[in-house]
Amino acid sequence: MHILHIDCSPRQDGQSRRLSAGIVAQLHALSPDAVVTRRDISALPPPDAHYASLLARPAETTGEQPEGSVGLSDIMIREIEAADILVLGTPVHNFTVPAALKSWLDHVVRVNRTVALGLDGKQGLIADRPVLVGVAAGGIILGEKAQQPDFFTPYLKAVLGCIGLQSVHFISVQGTAFCDEDVLRAAADQALTAMTADLRSSLSMPGRAAGAIHDA
């Protein structure tokens, strides 16, 4: 198994980083020979002008030597293609994805490379594989006790889906703005335990438990 582990929290001790590390640890426990490619995108800048030109005129720029954000886009797209499973750790910022994650998405959602445009809409060019999203939210955005609209999970599922990544699952720790450390740790442990049970099943390993991963 090849795992692509992505973190975007600006805090090195952020809850989403702890959660994504826990997900990777559980995957390692299920598949001890797993290889991990690590990508920290917390300081990733937006795509540059050359990349914007590529998106605006993809047919005219085909065959050009990659430079700037285009070269980085090639690298990050190949990282996705090489992985069997993606693990993404992210906080929720102002109802949606952080700026760093949006920048990564802008680098990997690329016309004629990861998505094709046609009369019937967008068609993903990347083969589907599981994407496990470890979400840390200051408020409550998921479930029956949600206190605010959830723009985060529909957006992330839609934008990843348009490049072919349809199997997106959310493992969440919520209420980080007002819960104490012990409560948050217990919530993370509970979410990871449930996730592991589902992964055993999907990876054809013994064991089965219900109610593991949020499919928003």
Residue 9 among known ligand-binding residues: yes
* Region of residue 112 (left: phi > 0; alpha: psi -120 to 50; beta: else): left
Residue 36: closest CA among 79, 75, 71: 79
Residue type, 197: A
Q: Which residue has the tokens 């839609």?
A: 158
Q: How would DSSP label each residue in 178-209? A: TS-HHHHHHHHHHHHHHHHHHHHHHTT-S---
Residue numbers in the known binding site for FMN are 9
Residue numbers in the known binding site are 9
